Every structure is written in structure tokens, then in C-alpha cells.
Structure 1
């Protein structure tokens, strides 16, 4: 049986989706306050009963602040900055830079651009 935890982060950024028709509202430059939720899971808990200490996720928050916060995402990502592709990018970064340093493993990562619109990336193991 596994235990899952979640931690939510936010950052503000602008983007436009260049592959949409010119009249589409998302083809124009606009911004969002993005919400990123990381879900971690573990079969066994570490002392004092954690999947992972939330403080150990600081490198991920630092990445968001330094590389994405108050940026034009089209300039910093090498792909179209849709919620789906941002979620995939962030999950890949998390797995390469954070996951090996913590006891929990990434289960899912969701990116919301508004309270009603989001994308969720999940690990298939």
C-alpha cells in the first residue's frame, strides 16, 4: 500500500500559442498565475512518518522562481507553452534534478492556468 502527498507552488508568467489561428484568443500574448501541484508517493514512510519532507522540494520551487516566474514562457521553453507541455517539461525536470535526492517518487504533476483549466501528467510504472 502506498501513501501519496502533494505540494502546490505558483508562478506568474506570460505566453502565446503560435500554432493557433490568428483570431484565436490564446494566439495573443496573455498571462496566467500558474499553479503547479506535485504528487509524491512511497510504499514506506521515513521518520517521523513522511513520504518526503516538503522542505526537500525547495530545488523545484527555486527552478520555478528563477526560470519561469515573471517570464515569457515562449522565450524559456523549447516547446509550445501549453499546460500539457509545461506539465511534461516540469515532470521531466523534477525527475532529473529532484527525485533521486528524495525518498518519495513522482506520481503526478498538474499545471493549472486558471481555477478551471489544467493538465495532469502521470507516471506510468
Structure 2
């Protein structure tokens, strides 16, 4: 069984490794959506793969480091592309959520990156 929990955060960033003429070179913001997918058996007693409250508690400290921050100033996100944000989340969430099977980060409703470790 696979379950997914979504989180949203607001953050600013700029992409320092694109040409100066690229619009993402300039500081701007996004309303991000991060989806954490977890896969495993359904516990016959609880009926859960994992309680969504456990996922929320595990992700809360990471969310606090992202929400309403300039992502370029977050350690490990000096080049905060959607791809790098997804990997950053994975690397920090996977030890807390062993059933994590993918992280999807949306910059806009039409653009996202998905990382599966």
C-alpha cells in the first residue's frame, strides 16, 4: 500500500547557476507543495501503513526550516532547484520515515520534481 501526505510552504529563492538573463536568476518566491509518499504493509490492528500524524511530526522540523525562508540561505540548498529541494527533503526525512519511497516538490501546480532515493 502506498500513502501520500502533502505539505505546503512559502519560500523565496534564486537560481545562482543560470544565466543572468534567466528570470529565475532574480530573487522570487513560490507557494511550494511537498508530497511525501510512503509504502508498506497495512497494519492489521491500526489499519495504517503509518499514522499521518507520525508523518506530520517527523516532517515538522524540516518544514520549519523551509517555510518563509530564503532557500538559498538553508544549508544544503545553495542552488535551490526543485530537484535539489526534493533530494534535500529525502536525505533528512528518510532516516525518520523508513517507509518513505518518494518525495515530490511542486514549484507551481504544473511543474514538479520527484526523487525516489
Question: What TM-score results when the alignment is normalised by the length of structure 2?
Answer: 0.92
Q: Distance in 2 between the 1:63 and 1:88 partners?
A: 13
Contact 1:9/1:61 (CA < 8 Å) preserved in 2? no
Q: Distance in 2 between the 1:77 and 1:110 partners?
A: 20
Alignment of 1:1-125 (within 5 A): 3-42=1-40, 44-46=41-43, 47-57=45-55, 58-64=57-63, 66-78=64-76, 79-96=78-95, 98-100=96-98, 105-123=99-117
CA RMSD, Structure 1 to Structure 2 (Å): 1.2
Contact 2:3/2:37 (CA < 8 Å) preserved in 1? yes
Contact 1:13/1:32 (CA < 8 Å) preserved in 2? yes
Secondary structure of 1:99's counterpart equals: coil
Structure 1 consecutive aligned stretches of length 4 or more whose deviation exceeds 4 Å: none
Deviations 1:40-83 (A, max 9, x none): 000x222221100000011203320x211100000013231000
| Structure 1 gap ranges (5+) | none
Secondary structure of 1:51's counterpart equals: coil
Q: Distance in 2 between the 1:75 and 1:29 partners?
A: 12
